[in-house]
Chains A and B, each alone.
Chain A
């Protein structure tokens, strides 16, 4: 085809595309037709439009008929046209496919190892991916969510502390002060309140007392009820569909009356759609905020700015274009200045927290930190790397076995590109199979994962767009990373050497590469093993270490109503039960994350101390029941109001006093209430091991008692618990009896750590399993390669152990190098993790030794069997052939 430089030409891309895909018998006429049309159009309407129409025509030609091969009778009709034409793209593809299937069928065990290890790794990655997207999706379904903020409190003294709540008048004050705000909604989340539908049907529900604006700010749509009036009228309530069904079955809930905690009777006026799984606000019953003063009056004490309850929260939606920082600096600081005196205004600061931060801020009770998610992502990445490495390892090793095939193909005219794509097709088939398996595995593992994390993940590609995008990308990445290198190696074989079977390690990809891949795998396994060991040790330490108080055999009961007479009756009734050793009433257990803290003024000092002190209200039995030790002075005397304090050693030190005796008998004003310090307790851990022991005091104040602690004997627990329930239910007929064990509560401090431990255990087992599969494949290959060498050595008198060492020394070298890489990295990562604990274990050499011992053992087990078989083989057999 001669082309004058100036004649307009049809677009190259379209021509190329058609040339590749048109079936040969149609190629000439169709390209001719298009060219003719193009020339005519150039004359009629100019070259640019003609090019455009050419492209359009080319695209409209795409149809199966275009590449369908002519059937036999058509071939008869056009005998000459197929001669010497280049084959269509799909021809080679189907050939690749056929060859690949034959290959996989021939090497079934090899294919199985590959599919297994790939699917294990990919299943984990799928789960990790859904987990991460699940957490990132939290609170994202609200309209204008970038303008929604929670107002929180910062306490500024020597260090800053955070609280999700605000003083109860703040919401109204903020609403009155601020024109740049669209909506402000106050809400109080009350956990586990008793809702009575009928005397026989009582349920524990989390209730939110909320302003109507709460539902305007957040996207919790109504399915029944009038959105304009719900939550406006007092003594009404909204339920979610799920709860409405639970309460009333299939009856219409609207207009029904329910009792809440004896103090409220509310009428159901609306039903909300069920909460989506990805919201942090899990209350399923809403009552107008104004009703809160009938339910828990102390939470809404008028103009009381000095206490902050973490469940008393305020949300706001700003007007577009308003920045949170300006509100922080102007309006909110003005509120502090207006409602507090000068000192206190510095102490109480209010800030806006973006809604996107609510799920992730650990200071403000966020569920998890984002860095944990990225850590999971990293583990997922490691797993994918191990699987790909495994695949590369096995394939390059196998490549040697295929040298004859490659040689023949090359002699017959295969080009490098064709060989490369052939190998990629094989990889694609294996990976595709593995993806299907992986998806099934992940699907099967999902209920267990959901149970472990107490979440509702779903692996449904139909309603998770990200998953739909992620799966093909994962597939492509795995195909690309694991297929490219072996494919290139294969395609590069020199044909003559390959045919003669004289390929050496040099052509099959440098041995150093395979070594470094094995090192990577070992290093990842060791990293995960060390992580598992450290976390397990620290958690065992946290559970078993002496907290400084008695935590076993301690039953904690809820006290719904703390009238003096009821408490005293209960105490005497409980004490008479067999198996009860001691009874105490208090607001929080010795170790508890829910603890109030306040300021202290000591003795005759003029200024308040600049540290906060935690305060617990408890009766005189507290010390004895929990086995706290009094180091100086004496225990509290029975009382119902604040008269005396006992403090811990940390308080004495924080006050700057040398001896415990120095505080005894002195007056102190704590939370603005005067009392005498009568005793000093030995320090005990009042929170988890994540935080240091706070200055702490205990005082009597019966109106705060909300829990009852009963020390029981474990020998005969059942009747004792039954007795407790009987007495308690008689005392509080409208409430539901529940009890907890203190040690379980303490174990719950480490819930997140336990999850991490469980996960990292699972991941390291999987990584090790994948690594073992790869190692086994590699040894099997090495053994096959070295058959002759072993035969010669044995004939010359080598012992079995000597031959075993031949295999062993190679892997031990690699293992040691891997350890050299993994150990410092693991040390760095794990010491950062341990930094989160104030009381922690030392990162000793023992853990590292144990880790290398475990990996060596696994390596020996994997390598041992196969190499032993090679070493025991009869040399006559291996040398006789050839």
Chain B
């Protein structure tokens, strides 16, 4: 029982979906002004495809449930009809998860033989 619980937690931490990773990175990138609209705009600009607020917002909720981000309410502005925005920052666990992903990827990249891409890789 105890084993399974630990396994579950690690699994949850390890399983960072591709989109989750992107959102998490964007939150880190936006640093002080990371809220859903900003993330939507930054991402859709970079990925060059439209993105629904719903998808991004749900991902951010999920990230928060996994403990990878923290959130707080920001100030209210007229542009938002007087409503406050929720600002996100990457937590320590989030940073570790990102580092982990990066490490795995780097290790993989380093392991690719030079000839694998027809020698075009410099």
Interface residues of A (CB under 8 A from B): 1, 28-37, 39-40, 56-57, 60-63, 65-66
Give the CA-CA distance A509 to B105 in the complex, in Å. Answer: 75
Contact present for A32 and B83 (CB under 8 Å) = yes
Closest to B83 in A: A32
Give the CA-CA distance A110 to B37 in the complex, in Å. Answer: 55
Interface string of B40-62 (1 = CB under 8 A from A): 10000000000011110110010
Interface residues of B in 1-47 (CB under 8 A from A): 35-37, 40
B66 at the interface (CB under 8 A from A): no
Contact present for A36 and B80 (CB under 8 Å) = yes
B82 at the interface (CB under 8 A from A): yes
Give the CA-CA distance A40 to B54 in the complex, in Å. Answer: 17
Give the CA-CA distance A682 to B52 in the complex, in Å. Answer: 92
Contacts of B54 on A, CB cut-off 8 Å? 57, 60-63, 66
Give the CA-CA distance A36 to B86 in the complex, in Å. Answer: 13
Interface residues of B (CB under 8 A from A): 35-37, 40, 52-55, 57-58, 61, 73, 76, 79-86
Contacts of A39 on B, CB cut-off 8 Å? 79
Contacts of B37 on A, CB cut-off 8 Å? 33, 36-37, 40
Closest to B55 in A: A60
Contact present for A35 and B57 (CB under 8 Å) = no
User: 28 A-B residue contacts at CB 8 Å?
Assistant: A1-B81, A1-B82, A29-B35, A29-B36, A29-B73, A29-B86, A31-B81, A31-B83, A32-B81, A32-B84, A33-B35, A33-B37, A33-B85, A34-B53, A36-B37, A36-B79, A36-B80, A37-B37, A37-B40, A37-B53, A40-B37, A57-B54, A60-B52, A60-B54, A61-B54, A63-B54, A65-B58, A65-B61
Contact present for A29 and B58 (CB under 8 Å) = no
Give the CA-CA distance A37 to B76 in the complex, in Å. Answer: 15
Give the CA-CA distance A37 to B37 in the complex, in Å. Answer: 7
Contact present for A33 and B81 (CB under 8 Å) = no
Give the CA-CA distance A35 to B37 in the complex, in Å. Answer: 10
Central interface residue in A34, A36, A61, by most chain B CB within 10 Å: A36
Contact present for A61 and B84 (CB under 8 Å) = no
Closest to B86 in A: A29
Q: How far is the CB of A86 from chain B (nearest CB, A)?
A: 16
Contacts of A56 on B, CB cut-off 8 Å? 52
Interface of A, secondary structure class, is helix
Give the CA-CA distance A39 to B81 in the complex, in Å. Answer: 10
Q: How far is the CB of A297 from chain B (nearest CB, A)?
A: 79
Give the CA-CA distance A61 to B55 in the complex, in Å. Answer: 7
Closest to B40 in A: A37
Contacts of B76 on A, CB cut-off 8 Å? 32
Number of A-B residue pairs, CB cutoff 8 Å, is 60
Central interface residue in B73, B81, B84, B85, by most chain A CB within 10 Å: B81
Q: How far is the CB of A725 from chain B (nearest CB, A)?
A: 80
Contacts of B55 on A, CB cut-off 8 Å? 60
Give the CA-CA distance A259 to B97 in the complex, in Å. Answer: 84
Give the CA-CA distance A60 to B51 in the complex, in Å. Answer: 10
6 nearest A-B residue pairs (beta carbon):
A32-B83, A32-B80, A61-B54, A60-B52, A35-B81, A60-B54
Give the CA-CA distance A464 to B70 in the complex, in Å. Answer: 54
Contacts of B58 on A, CB cut-off 8 Å? 63, 65
Contacts of A29 on B, CB cut-off 8 Å? 35-36, 73, 83-86
Central interface residue in A30, A33, A61, A66, by most chain B CB within 10 Å: A33
Q: How far is the CB of A74 from chain B (nearest CB, A)?
A: 8
Closest to B36 in A: A33
Q: How far is the CB of B53 from chain A (nearest CB, A)?
A: 5
Q: How far is the CB of A10 from chain B (nearest CB, A)?
A: 9
Give the CA-CA distance A807 to B80 in the complex, in Å. Answer: 69
Give the CA-CA distance A31 to B85 in the complex, in Å. Answer: 10
Give the CA-CA distance A40 to B80 in the complex, in Å. Answer: 10
Contacts of B53 on A, CB cut-off 8 Å? 30, 33-34, 37, 57, 60-61
Q: How far is the CB of A73 from chain B (nearest CB, A)?
A: 9
Q: How far is the CB of B71 from chain A (nearest CB, A)?
A: 8
Asked whether A61 and B57 contact (CB < 8 A) given A29-B86, A37-B37, the answer is yes
Contacts of A36 on B, CB cut-off 8 Å? 37, 79-80, 85
Contacts of A37 on B, CB cut-off 8 Å? 37, 40, 53
Closest to B57 in A: A30
Give the CA-CA distance A34 to B54 in the complex, in Å. Answer: 10
Given A36-B80, A63-B58, A66-B54, 5 other A-B residues pairs in contact with their CB atoms under 8 A: A29-B83, A29-B84, A35-B81, A36-B79, A65-B58
Q: How far is the CB of B74 from chain A (nearest CB, A)?
A: 9
The one of A28, A34, A65 that contacts B84, using a Cβ cutoff of 8 Å: A28
Give the CA-CA distance A439 to B73 in the complex, in Å. Answer: 54
Contacts of A34 on B, CB cut-off 8 Å? 53
Q: How far is the CB of B75 from chain A (nearest CB, A)?
A: 11
Contacts of B79 on A, CB cut-off 8 Å? 35-36, 39
Closest to B62 in A: A65
Give the CA-CA distance A35 to B52 in the complex, in Å. Answer: 14
Give the CA-CA distance A32 to B75 in the complex, in Å. Answer: 11
Q: How far is the CB of A757 from chain B (nearest CB, A)?
A: 62
Give the CA-CA distance A33 to B57 in the complex, in Å. Answer: 10
Give the CA-CA distance A66 to B86 in the complex, in Å. Answer: 16
Give the CA-CA distance A30 to B86 in the complex, in Å. Answer: 9
Q: How far is the CB of A135 from chain B (nearest CB, A)?
A: 49
Q: How far is the CB of B62 from chain A (nearest CB, A)?
A: 8
Contacts of B85 on A, CB cut-off 8 Å? 29, 32-33, 36
